[in-house]
Structure 1
């Protein structure tokens, strides 16, 4: 089964309205029915190591912007995957969101927060998968955020539970990180034999590439780090395999599958 990824990157600000307009510009420049558009961590709300910009006004603006994105996704029959800080039940979360062409919403709340995030954000409690409905077929996928690239057991768990693609949203800069974080992405793809779709912010000191990595570990596409752009990449899910996962020595080391229903939404 072949699907199309619209891989996007831009440089977010701390203005929800400005970020929303940039996201819509990218959508309108590349809209194709059933495309899966992927954008960086924190790109709707904005992101900063100092979280005093996250006010109640920002929370309301994010809610309104999500409603707008749901309408756009439904109108153009697009799948949207992007990052945002969100406010729920009195707590802030660093989250990855999915909006389907029917306007439905799924939210992944980052479970392994960066150290500087832990005094502000509440950590998520679930590592689970959700489905993309592509015509009559369903594709199981998952989201991971930024430093979660450092925890391969999370990616293995998601793969064991059937995720064929893992969307990796990040907001990291620093040239010294680039080779290491890119190598992590290639490893996560090859060791689990899954497609990894990575979207980072556009920046001259991008610390991890926006790129698509195949289940063999081959980099299919890597975006120019400084360019605000969206590019369409075709991937064939027939390349996904459980060959290595099935050879794990579970008598020595075991990453357990979820005991609850793996089909439920995150």
Structure 2
């Protein structure tokens, strides 16, 4: 977000930080509010209308959500509708971001932040590797509730509550494909500790010493702590490929052999 919406988002996230109750409940309730508002364009229009007094908008969200959510959620919703937004969509996008922040805070408070980072990456890999499953969770024509139920069946008891909540929200595909949204959520988790996420592709498992050495080298290069998500892929033959954001460091043997083959072919 940019401009006036970005300033309003700061206030919304501040309201999340000020929450005194369960941040996990807060996250779930905010995701629920996003779903309601996505399906009610007329209500969104009123709540983002700059000509409507903030007190009136706060009263309206209290009337709509007051009996369904806790006081922390009402505070965040109040902060959101009291802000100024460049578009109606920015309001719900901000509330989704707030819900993610709440889930991440809950994982942090429960000592599950490392697990959340790793599990989000693994969930993305599982979905990506199954074409049928990938098509279902990426299909915007399938109701989000149905996709959420499918993910709950697949993941319940195997991942933390925060991971399941974020994967379910990503399946709504509000701002992009399931994989893109889940990856963005992973960046939010990493940002909680001011560190980067690196996808590392190798031919064989790396030992603990090798992982520590690689993480340290990347931290020195980027000036921030780096969390490694490692993929074992025999196709790389040897060497290593590291992706951080849009930057790729490819030192795999398979790539070197392909370059040599092209040179020989002229």
| TM-score under structure 1 length normalisation | 0.26
Q: Which has the higher strand share?
A: 1
| TM-score under structure 2 length normalisation | 0.26
Q: Which has the higher helix share?
A: 2
Q: Higher relative CO (CA 8 A, sep ≥ 6), structure 1 or 2?
A: 1
Structure number with bigger Rg = 2
